[in-house]
């Protein structure tokens, strides 16, 4: 009959506990990394998109022109933008609802993926339908404030009032001057 050790704190148990703790901590750190919000950038903000090369972002804008190459690749071109959504012909079978060039013409969309450069222009390669979705125009307001077309429509300039600042060292609140 095998002898049962009364010492539960053996070397093998210690390493097993250490391994399980390491896996738990690694899982926690990965989940925290994925919980970080993906930046949202307007398709027309070329400079911002270029600065985010290699990073995963959400690009929003209106698709104004689409195209298909002779080999079947699909292209989505955006209003006032050099940004392109590109779907290789090999990935078109992943789109059972229709090719992106047909489905997203004249639609407001959000594309998620890493920014790549093709001929010095930013693009996202769209390999699956979960990377692109049609969005409500009100969602454009959530675009990064540095983006040029953050508002879905132009609004008239606010009226300027002539309320002077009382203290020259006081921080100026722009809301006092625009109503």
Task: Please write the tens of the pLDDT for every residue from 19-66.
Answer: 566 666 556 555 444 446 889 999 999 999 999 999 999 999 999 999
pLDDT band at residue 151 using 50, 70 and 90 as cut-offs? very low
Chain segment 157-177, per-residue pLDDT in tens: 454 444 444 555 555 565 655
Report the distance separating Cα 111 and Cα 121, nearest Å.
16
pLDDT score at 141: 47
- CA distance linking residue 101 with residue 43, whole number of Å: 17
**Residue 92 — pLDDT band, cuts 50, 70, 90?**
very high
Torsion 121-111-78-40 (CA) sign: negative
Q: Taking residues 87-95, report their average pLDDT.
A: 96
pLDDT in tens, 97-124: 999 999 999 999 999 999 999 999 999 9
Q: Tell me phi and psi for residue 143, to 5 degrees.
A: -65, 145
Check pLDDT > 90 for residue 85: yes
Q: How many CA atoms does the CB half-sphere of 138 hold within 13 Å?
A: 0
Contacts (Cβ under 8 Å, ≥6 apart) of 70: none
Task: Give the pLDDT score at 137.
Answer: 82
Q: How confident is the model at residue 68 (pLDDT cuts 50, 70, 90)?
A: very high
Q: Which residue has better confidence, 151 or 122?
A: 122
Q: What percent of the chain has pLDDT over 70?
A: 57
Residue 147 has pLDDT above 50, yes or no: no
Q: Are 115 and 86 in contact (CB under 8 A)?
A: no
Separation in Å, CA 66 to CA 13, 90, 94, 153, 160: 61, 18, 18, 22, 42
Backbone angles phi, psi at 76, to 5 degrees: -120, 120
């Amino acid at each position: 009959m095998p002898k049962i050790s009364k010492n539960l704190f053996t070397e093998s148990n210690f390493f097993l506990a250490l391994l399980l703790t390491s896996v738990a901590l690694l899982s926690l750190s990965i989940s925290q990394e994925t919980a970080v919000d993906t930046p949202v950038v307007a398709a027309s903000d070329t400079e911002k998109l270029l600065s985010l090369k290699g990073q995963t972002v959400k690009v929003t804008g209106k698709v104004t022109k689409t195209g298909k190459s002779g080999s079947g690749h699909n292209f989505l071109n955006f209003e006032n933008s050099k940004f392109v959504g590109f779907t290789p012909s090999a990935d078109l079978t992943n789109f059972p609802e229709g090719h992106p060039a047909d489905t997203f013409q004249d639609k407001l969309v959000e594309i998620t993926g890493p920014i790549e450069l093709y001929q010095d222009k930013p693009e996202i390669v769209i390999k699956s339908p979960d990377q692109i979705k049609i969005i409500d125009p009100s969602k454009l307001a959530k675009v990064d404030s540095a983006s040029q077309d953050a508002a879905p429509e132009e609004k008239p300039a606010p009226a300027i009032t002539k309320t002077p600042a009382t203290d020259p060292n006081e921080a100026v609140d722009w809301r006092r001057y625009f109503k």
